[in-house]
Amino acid sequence: MKNAQERDPSAKDPNPIDKHVGSRVRMRRLMLRMTQGKLADAVGVTFQQVQKYEKGSNRIGASRLQQISETLGVPPSFFFQGAPGGTPLAGFAEDSAPYETEYLSTAEGLALNRAFARIRDPKVRRRVVSLVEAMADEDGDAGRGSQAKRAAG
């Protein structure tokens, strides 16, 4: 029998798939501006249980995932899109990177996404994307320039 010091430290770490599914639950819930309490009531669990699902510390069973998907208005496959080690789902050209999923789970990511979705003119949308890309490139170039200056100096 192993003592506490000999235990595998990763034994407590949530499974990456459970974390991914939980983050997708959180992202969709936030997109709908639904509280953890409202989701919990709809699927018959406590809000603390929803917190654990969203962190990935508790695995979501198949029947519960079906309830959550119905409540959040997405198919169960939504929660697995971009999952680590998964194969791309039919109809999707590319998986989203983990940082994209994490970003969309933040308040800034959701606010930007909601505001962008309200822009109806396709030309304006393209200009916004071009502006953000240019700003990101400029920020990246500034970082590289200062690195080059440090390396030269």
Q: What is the pLDDT of residues 56-113, one digit of tens each?
A: 999 999 999 999 999 999 999 999 988 887 555 444 444 445 566 667 667 788 788 8
User: What are 135-153's pLDDT values in tens digits?
Assistant: 988 877 765 554 444 444 4
**Domains along the chain with CATH numbers:** 13-84 (1.10.260.40)
Instruction: Please indicate whether residue 109 or residue 7 has the higher confidence score (pLDDT).
Output: 109
Q: Tell me, what's the pLDDT at 137? A: 87
**SS3 track for the chain:** CCCHHHCCHHHHCCCHHHHHHHHHHHHHHHHCCCCHHHHHHHHCCCHHHHHHHHHCCCCCCHHHHHHHHHHHCCCHHHHHCCCCCCCCCCCCCCCCCHHHHHHHCCHHHHHHHHHHHCCCCHHHHHHHHHHHHHHHHHHHHHHHHHHHHHHHC
pLDDT of residue 118 exceeding 80: yes
How confident is the model over 39-58, as pLDDT tens digits? Answer: 999 999 999 999 999 999 99
Euclidean distance between CA atoms 122 and 147, whole angstroms: 37
- Look-up of token digits 């639950």: 25
- Residue 129 in tokens: 């994307």
Helix axes 36-43, 16-31, angle to 10 degrees: 110
Contact yes or no for 60/53 (Cβ under 8 A): yes
Q: What is the largest CA-CA distance in the chain?
A: 66
**For residue 114, is pLDDT > 90?**
no
Whole-number Å distance between alpha carbons of 56 and 20: 7
